[in-house]
Structure 1
Amino acid sequence: ILIPLTCVGILPMSSMEKRFHPPSLNLKECLKSAEHISSSDPDFRILEDGSVYTANIISLPSEEKTFTILLKDIQRHEEKKIHVNLLVHQKKTHKTRHARDTVLRRTKRRWAPIPSSMMENSLGPFPMQIQQVQSDTAQNYTIYYSATGPGIDRDPKNLFYVERETGNVFATGPVDREQYPEFKIIFFATTADGYSPEIPLPHTIRIEDDNDNAPSFTQDLFTFVAPEHCKPGTVVGQVTAEDRDELYTLHTALKYRIVSEEPPFPKMFSVHPESGVITTLTSQLDREIIGKHLLLIEVRDMAGQPFGLCNTGTVVINVKDVNDNAPYFGHSSYDTKVLENRVNVEILRIPCLDKDEPNSPAWNCRFSIVKGNDDNHFAITTDGRTNEGILCVVKGLDYETTNLRILEIAASNEIPYVVVPYSSGLAQSTCTVRVNILDDDEGPVFKPCLLPITIDGCAAVGTAVGKYLAEDPETGNSEGIRYRIAPGQSNWITIDENSGELRIAKLFGNDLIGRQCNITVLAVDQSEYKCTGTVLATIGACDRDYPVVTPREFIMCRDRKPVYITAVTPNESPYSAPFRFDISDRSMDSGWQTVQQDDKSILLSPRTDIPYGIYKIPVTVRDNKGRQGTSVVSVNYCDCTTPSDCGTVRQVSPAVTLGVWAILAMILGSLLLLLILITLCGCYGTGAVSKHVPDDLANQNLIISNTEAPGEEVMDPNIIPLQTATVNSCDQGVGMGTIGREVKTGGQSFEMSKGGHQTLESVRGYGQSTMEQGRYSYSEWQNFMHSRLGEKVYMCRQNEENKHSEDYVLPYNYEGRGSLAGSVGCCSDHQEEEVLDFLDQLEPKFRTLAETCVKR
């Protein structure tokens, strides 16, 4: 029979055969491009046409034989499997049955079949039968089969089902083994009336793995370090990969190999095919030749077979430097010259070359004078930036004694030299320096030859950082010597031509912070003799002052008017405004808030209602460069109307400037109040007025009211009544313009002017019965005011030309019609009987004021 696309076949054969020729299998239905066909059982052989043959004499079991046919497409990396079940037919034997041979024999029950399996990603056709369950009780009953479990009535639902009458188990679609490796199902055998002659049957459907997942590396890029000139076999690192297919099978049997290496020759590394460990092949790793190697590594499953799935990853191997290159000089000898008697002057810079990694201990040079300096006239140091040797004269040389000195200079590194394979021992590198001593008339000399200075990294432009002076050896002074920076030197520092003062020319960038710079300075005297010196400038960290808050103590009244906070700093741009303010304490931040006013100030106010008290609020201020400082601001939240009520200094707020119109309005208001007082003096100051106005009219109180209606009479004894006095002369009228300087409540004095000390209580006595009622009699008020007004008139006469004792002509804005009250000059004295009649014709504002003074 032909094997269908389900890749499951059943072939009949007898129990004992030497050769078996079953019908051909249709292999093209499973894999049309199959290039390799093999069998999992060596006793069977499959030809390309699908024919199956026995390869050996075999003895088959009594029921069935199972094996697998494997189809592979090597080029396309595809693989398919065909599972074959061979059913064994027993040969019938005829013999005579005797009664004694008749024995009841129980056949083997089929209710517990072996676990069934299904190939992952099977192509069908579906539904595809994968198993059959049967019960021996079907001989006696009509049995119906059912099942439950994953794949049937649990997720993934409806993937399998069992035929009710036959017990055949079918799959409805393909399965991903990586998601569902097996299904444990329980089968039931019942009769039509619900009787269960069999116990439930647990059954496992195992999903066989298909190599459908390629291995992948655990990292996108592996980076390792290999020591320079290390021995062969040195472990560099290990790469790892993962495969989602079934473990302990060929599908997850991974093999590693190096696909390519850059540079390609010579080969420097190898990878263990199973562990992924990378080791060196030779000891020829040389950082100075190749400092970085790139490896492309492949991982392949199926134990590295060509048809296995694969993936690649990249490995970077950096070569670690060792001191395998000794420093050397560019020339074997150097010539220089120096004037006699010069001290601490630089006479030569000697370059030192090294192939090792720059700015590493294997590259940094150290110089020494090994010959020709027995008298210690010379010294040599290293320029850390250029790796040059700086040769200086530290003791004066005498031309008359010798005009030539020969020095031998040696160079070495900070760490010892390493002898690597295939290299020979290395002698110390040396050079010869010929120092010619010149006869001189003692030109200028820098003292010292090398001047170390430290500069603040935040120094502003123009900041003086030191002086570097040269002096005439003969006179010992620096007069007439001019200075300049040698051409090609740093442009961030300048030197004053006459004073030798060093100043900052521009702000430092981050690239200069923490570095050392050598600056060559030239000095020229009046005879045009020159000398050079070196300034070793170390640029330190930025150490500027932090912005702070000033002032730090404030008073906030019950109206909770925001506090105006300003930050200051002595620094200049960029370490200055704009500032950024924050409340550093989180607990305070929840109760207080800030609003930015400008670049240097904020408004601080509480977010919600808070109790009265003193609050300490830490405020952090950051400048334009992010440098910050914290100041503690003290806010006294007081139950007051004005800050002065709390007994401390008022808060310093931004200045308020009054315009011309505001000042003019204040002056006109004062003149209007003066006019009203003079009018009232004229109304109540005559005998005629006394006839028509009762005496207790003078006892009325002035009530401050926010409405335009007349205020009610106030009987509180703590409020002092303000009343007018009889005016009988021009001089007294003038004095009325100065009363009312200060009013104090609660039984205190009613101060009438700055110059007087007599109070109303001192005139009439304190504690009388009228005081208890909060009233004063007309006579008491008149006696008090008469003396006080006289004193004021006397003071006015003392001024120059008696000008203050004269009547004033006050200009007022014309409101459209004349006043029915007539003159309101200080000398007016109304004696008419109906002196108060004009109040009925006044403007509303004047009428309201008059009504507050009249008892209804």
Structure 2
Amino acid sequence: MFVCGDSEHPSAAFLHLFLSLSQAMCQNLGDLHVTGPLKDMNFSVPEGGAVRFIYQFTSEPPAMSFRATGEKDGIIDIVPKTGVLYLNGSLDWETKAVHRLQVESLDEEGNTVKGPYAVTIYVEDINDNPPEFDQTKYTGVVRQNSRPGKPFMYVHATDRDDPTTLHAQLVYSILHHFPNPYSEMLFQINNVTGAISPSRTGSYYLDPQKQDTFTLVVTVKDMAGTTTNAFTSSTDVIITVKESLWKAPSTIHIQENSTQAHPVNISQVHSNEQDVIYDIFEKEKLPRLPFSIDQSGVIYVTEPLDREEEDTYNFFVVTKDNKGELVDKPLKIHVVVEDINDSPPVCQQALTVIEVQENEGSNIGTILATDRDEEDTLNSRLQFKIESQVPNVPASNLFLIQQDTGILQLTGHSLNKRIAPNYSLKVLVTDAVFQTICDVQIHVIDINDQIPIFEKSDYHNVTVAEDLPVGTVILEIQATDGDEPGTGSSYIIYQMKEGDPKNTFIIETDSETNRGFVRIHKALDFETVPVYNLVINATNPEPLVAGVQYNSSSLTLFKVFVTDVDEPPVFHETIYKQEVSEDIPVNTLVMTVEAYDPEGDTVRYSLEGDVRKWLRIDSTTGQVYTASTLDREQKATYTVNVVASELTQKSKATLILQLLDVNDNPPQLGMDYTLFFCHPLSGGERALIQATDADEQHYYSTFTFSVADDTNTRSSWEISKVNATHAYLSPKHANFEEKVYNIPVIINDNGKPPLEGKVNLEVTFMNNQTGEKSCFIEVERQHFWPTAGQAIGLLIGILLIIGMSIFLI
């Protein structure tokens, strides 16, 4: 067996090796499982390092020494005498990842006693190789306006370390690029694949006219870039920016209704990339899109276009790869359909009717027509001309139409309804190619030269009760007008000229008969206005002609007498609310309610629903007082009705009293507790108790618990608080007899001022003879376990003892 400090070796070189091994081994004697009998074994050893102890094989007689053979490679060997397997040099994972040896034990004559056994040493890789790019410098070309994220070149690096570990996991990044005219990088790199593409900023700003060459400093890190100790390599990437081939054509103009054979080539686009698939899409989703594109980028119109159906088209051309992914940014194609004169004028109305008063001035109306051809062009310019007038009396040229506006005028003659009440015109409307006839009918209407005349100048009076419903008709009136029936000159509007400043009444007119109906518009009130002296006038919506004025014939008188109706008293408010403290003295004034009687009768007050007899009311003044002590804990919101009465009528209002809490209830226990402890006590017993309070929460949100201030109680019992409402009662010693103890407990709330409650807890000590813990009702026991620190201390102590004793020989 190997012994620390053994010096029986034949040579100085071997002595030096042995001393190194001895030191290495003795330094590792504290490790677990470093020695054991000869058997098949596997070891994992990090590469690098110097002389190292791996394992010590133990032997049993007649074995006296050990021998190792196999893939030692001049680095791995065994000390024959002691069985120490060791390294005398550095392992290299990149050179050899696994060493397979055979170890056997020998007797004094060199014969095999046990073995050979397979010993396999797996070399663990360490990060000892930096990543290397496969080129010292890269070059690439990118087109202006290339799609962001679309790779245009790749860089690649390798690492000789174990590819299954972080040591060979590489991450790419761009350290700088020169020049950098913007605050954001113009290029980006996929940190896993090394793919370089334009960034979103670069896709927008790259322009060979401004800068056609960029130098990128690209770095690669191993260890997945997760540590500052990772190895880093860098390379230069020279990028040339070229002008984009992918450009939208200028606006395409196509004349409508083309007679060419379709499809017709109208433009072409070119992608920056080879072997792309061209396609068209639109945002507006028209019923059909009359355009197509072939795989050379040629855009076609597939059918004749109609400007009146659609005057412009906007669609997009895209390029895709064979996976359906976009290659270039979509190009917007704008097509304008050019107009030809292919639409005739259209009359806006099949028949245009114009009313003209007998004395009307020059302009009497406008003939409206439209043309679907392009607006503000000669194709849609319309001109007007009167083709015929029927009848031709009193002249054939009574009307004139402005050629370019369609405004119809009288030539100077006034129309006379008695000569001709109607005229029919045919108006010719033309554009540069087409013409249309529009029919016009002119009605000559009477002028308003007659005023309305009432059938009565005085409708005398009517008597109505003040409670008559709104909308009731109280009078019908009639005036007549000599102008043409059914026109604005003869229609009559009735209005209250005097005597109704608040619009209490309204008058509606029957359009067929011009009869007027006087209705109640707002509620009547005898106490406010008992009599209305009304003056009603009658007018027309059309203005009177010059020289004619309304006079007294268009006025009539009417008087309304309002009779009184006995009404109930009226409260100033329907609901009276008041907050008062529950401890206010009896006979305290709470509030005053007020009501009045519309007829002026005396009002008396009383209460209804005062079931607790807490209130009284002064029957004359309406003042409400407390009649007895209030108690919020009985009723927090107290509602009663106030009755206002006069001789025959009465009405009610609601009185709501909100009682504010005061601290007037001492705390007490939440239930009747009966506590039992097993006798004798074994330690850790405690009983949970709860306190409650009838007052509002802000008075008892926190309770204070204590035992009575007497020597015997304080020496035997203690109370510890659990939370705001609970506490534990615990015995302070085990010297109790089998009997009943009364424990006085004091509970304080946190009111201002606080209230104190004193309760007696009955605790029974009883012998547990059943073994079923029946005496353990409502009592807890505390369990004691070592803390985390204690547990760790015990564990360390045990491990130290084991470590000191394993290898002491």
TM-score, length-normalised on structure 2?
A: 0.26
Q: Which has the higher helix share?
A: 1
TM-score, length-normalised on structure 1?
A: 0.25
